[in-house]
Amino acid sequence: MHISAALSRIAPSQTTAMTDRATQLREAGRDIISLSVGEPDFATPPHVLDAAKAALDGGDTKYTPVGGTSRLKQAAALHFARDLGIEVPTSQVTVSAGGKQAIFHAMLATMSEGDEAIVPAPWWVSYPEIIRFAGGKVVPLHTHAKDNFRFTAADLEAQIGPRTQWLLLNSPGNPTGACYPAEMLLGIGEVLRHHPRILILSDDIYAPINYTGARHATLANLCPDLADRILTISGVSKSHAMTGFRIGVAAGPEWLIKAMERLQSHSSGNPCSISQAAAVAAFEGPQEFLAEWCERFRARRDLVVGAINAIPGLSTPTPDGAFYCMVDAAPLMERFGDDARLALHLLDHGVAIVPASAFGHRDGFRISFAADEAKLVEACKRIAEAVA
Ligand SMILES: Cc1ncc(COP(=O)(O)O)c(C=O)c1O
pLDDT tens-digit profile of 202-251?
999 999 999 999 999 999 999 999 999 999 999 999 999 999 999 999 99
Query: 139 - beta bridge partners?
Result: 118
CA 95, CA 284: separation in Å to the nearest integer? Answer: 16
Q: What average pLDDT is seen over the chain?
A: 96
CA 118, CA 106: separation in Å to the nearest integer? Answer: 15
Per-residue pLDDT, averaged over 39-64, amounts to 97
SS3 109: helix
pLDDT at 55 over 90: yes
Residue closest to 26 by CA, chosen among 336, 352, 327, 367:
352
In this prediction, residue 185 has a pLDDT band, given cuts at 50, 70 and 90, of very high
Burial class (CB in 10 A: 0-12, 13-18, 19+), 196: exposed
What residues line ligand 1, using a CB cutoff of 6 Å? Answer: 38, 98-100, 124, 170, 174, 203, 205, 235, 237, 243, 248
Residue closest to 306 by CA, chosen among 351, 369, 352, 258:
369
pLDDT tens-digit profile of 140-181?
999 999 999 999 999 999 999 999 999 999 999 999 999 999
Ligand 1 centroid–CA 38 distance in Å is 8
Q: b/e string for 243-260 if b means 16 or more Cβ within 10 A?
A: bebbbbbbbbbeebbebb
In this prediction, residue 19 has a pLDDT band, given cuts at 50, 70 and 90, of confident
Quick one: fold of 62-284? Aspartate Aminotransferase; domain 2 (3.40.640)
Q: Which atom of ligand 1 is the closest one to the Cα of 100?
A: 9
In this prediction, residue 90 has a pLDDT band, given cuts at 50, 70 and 90, of very high
Q: For the whole prediction, is pTM greater than 0.75? A: yes
- Give the pLDDT of residue 95: 98
Residue closest to 168 by CA, chosen among 116, 226, 228, 235:
116
Ligand 1 centroid–CA 99 distance in Å is 6
Superfamily classification of domain 5-43+289-387? Aspartate Aminotransferase, domain 1 (3.90.1150.10)
Ligand 1 centroid–CA 385 distance in Å is 32
Which amino acid residue places its CA nearest to atom 16 of ligand 1? 174
SS3 116: strand
Share of the chain above pLDDT 70, in %: 100
CA 277, CA 48: separation in Å to the nearest integer? Answer: 8
48: Cβ contacts below 8 Å, ≥ 6 apart: 236, 240, 242, 278, 281, 282, 285
Ligand 1 centroid–CA 104 distance in Å is 11
Ligand 1 centroid–CA 234 distance in Å is 9
- Return the domain boundaries, the chain: 5-43+289-387, 62-284
Cα 21 to its chain centre, rounded Å, is 22
- Give the pLDDT of residue 20: 79
Per-residue pLDDT, averaged over 353-370, amounts to 95
